[in-house]
Amino acid sequence: VAALVALSFSGAIGLTFLMLGCALEYYGVYWPLFVLIFYFICPIPHFIAKRVSDDSDATSSACRELAYFFTTGIVVSAFGFPIILARVEAIKWGACGLVLAGNAVIFLTILGFFLVFGRGDDFSWEQW
């Protein structure tokens, strides 16, 4: 239960950074909210690889490695998107910093979720 509370708290902190990067009056542009799409599609390759490959005791699986590759591409794109927006002056660099801080916290929260609830025991995300 403590892990679930800590994960929800860190998720709220990450979303707060993202909202501050958008909603502060000095920044006032909501383009960085498109990063939410990356948050939602980040775990999808892992879910597909977990469903497709049944050999969980194998040391390496091509499907799992491909899922890691796609997930890495999604995470790098989520960090690159606000930098590109700031570079073309669609958002200010301060908003970019807040969004990057939110990205780091949210992606660490997603990683923590899979580390805590991905063990395959009775209290795992696979039963949700």
Q: How many angstroms separate the CA atoms of 70 and 31, rounded? A: 24
Q: For residue 89, what pLDDT is reported?
A: 92
Structure-token match 């977990």, residue found: 50
Per-residue pLDDT of the chain in tens (128 residues, 90 and over written 9)? 888 899 999 999 999 999 999 888 888 889 999 999 999 999 999 888 888 876 555 566 788 889 999 999 999 999 999 999 999 999 999 999 999 999 999 999 999 998 888 766 555 555 55
The continuous run of DSSP H or E covering 27 comes out as none
How far from 93 is each of 89, 109, 114, CA to CA, in Å? 8, 24, 32
Q: Among 99, 68, 101, 105, which residue's Cα sits nearest to residue 84?
A: 99
Collect all residues with Cβ–Cβ distance below 8 Å to 113 and sequence separation of at least 6: 7, 125
Q: How many angstroms separate the CA atoms of 110 and 36, rounded? A: 13
Q: Specify the 3-state DSSP secondary structure of 46.
A: helix
Q: How many angstroms separate the CA atoms of 75 and 83, rounded? A: 13
Number of C-beta neighbours around residue 42 at 10 A: 20
Work out the widest C-alpha separation in the chain, in whole angstroms: 52
